[in-house]
Amino acid sequence: MSLKTKPEKKTAPKALIFNIQKFSLNDGPGIRTVVFFKGCPLRCKWCSNPESQSGRQEEMFDESTQKNITVGEYKTIPEVMKVILQDKDFYEESGGGVTFSGGEVLFQAPFAIELAKAIHAEGISVACETTGFARPKIFKAFMDQMDFMYYDCKQWDSQRHQLGTGGRNELILQNLATAVAAKKDMLVRIPVIPGFNYTLEDADHFGQLFTQMGIDKVELLPFHQFGLKKYQNLHREYALKDVKQLTADDLEDYKNIIASYGVGTTVNGW
């Protein structure tokens, strides 16, 4: 007579989340809740959320308490949904919803896909901010759950992309082409960084690239120093600490060159 063993109890999937920001007005239409996923496969030298890069929990000095805090908390889908649903009325009134950010949300794509399905089941829209750096199959499954996408395109040249971010851009451009072909509602954004992609030659190459890909609108994000203090609190060296911030005026010629290719180009004012 064989002994029957009890089936193993499945544990609920979890993701490492480092912030859930309510009442956001700058991450998509209407009032939004932004879920920040921890972990990113890239290492952009100008990253304004350096605490988001590692896929593990880490210690960071908190100025408000003058103590070290643990960045990142493992959460289940019901735990995240509990926070999201607190503001459901505001989403409905304002045409808002939920935005996935990071880090890079695709770093934890399986969880993000299931979370998006749970959000949609409540009649709430889902947007994301992404670099598109993932295997095509994963990106496609994730993209299909997004109602709107902010898609960063940081460099037109793969070798230079690797020098500034630690990764090449072939996958990023391939997935961007997939999104364009699917007629995905999205806005392509270029973080414009001195010493990385801030020449008028770069602008010209971007104009050519977007024309070839069929992208008709793009937003420029001027380099800023909002993340400077975070590097200090993480006891990390910040490579761009002495680089001057850019303004919208600094990008006027850059914008006009891309626009000359028939691409609607705007500048985001920080």
Query: Which pLDDT score is estimated for 1?
Result: 46
CB-CB contact of 266 with 219 (8 Å): yes
CA distance 98 to 24: 9
pLDDT digits (tens, 9 = 90+) for 136-173: 999 999 999 999 999 999 999 999 999 999 999 999 99
Query: Which pLDDT score is estimated for 178?
Result: 98
DSSP E strand stretches across the chain:
14-24, 32-37, 58-62, 67-71, 73-76, 97-101, 125-130, 148-152, 186-192, 217-222, 264-267
| DSSP assigned state of 250 | G
Phi, psi at 248, each rounded to 5°: -60, -40
∠ CA(96), CA(140), CA(16), 5° rounding? 65
Based on the number of CB atoms within 10 Å of its own CB, is 66 exposed (0-12), middle (13-18) or buried (19 or more)?
exposed
Res. 59: pLDDT tops 80: yes
> May I ask the CATH architecture of the domain 14-267?
Alpha-Beta Barrel (3.20)
Q: What is the DSSP string of 151-218?
A: EE---SSHHHHHHHHSS-SHHHHHHHHHHHHTT--EEEEEEE-TTTT-SHHHHHHHHHHHHHHT--EE
Q: Any idea where the domains of the chain sit in the sequence? A: 14-267
SS3 assignment, position 11: coil
DSSP E strand stretches across 72-136:
73-76, 97-101, 125-130
- Alpha-carbon separation of residue 158 from 48, 106, 174 (angstroms): 22, 20, 12
Res. 26: pLDDT tops 90: no
Res. 252: pLDDT tops 70: yes
Q: How confident is the model at residue 204 (pLDDT cuts 50, 70, 90)?
A: very high
Pick 6 or 34 by higher pLDDT: 34
CA distance 63 to 69: 10
CA distance 51 to 172: 23
SS3 assignment, position 78: helix
CA distance 73 to 86: 19
| DSSP assigned state of 7 | P
Paired tokens of 115: 């979370």
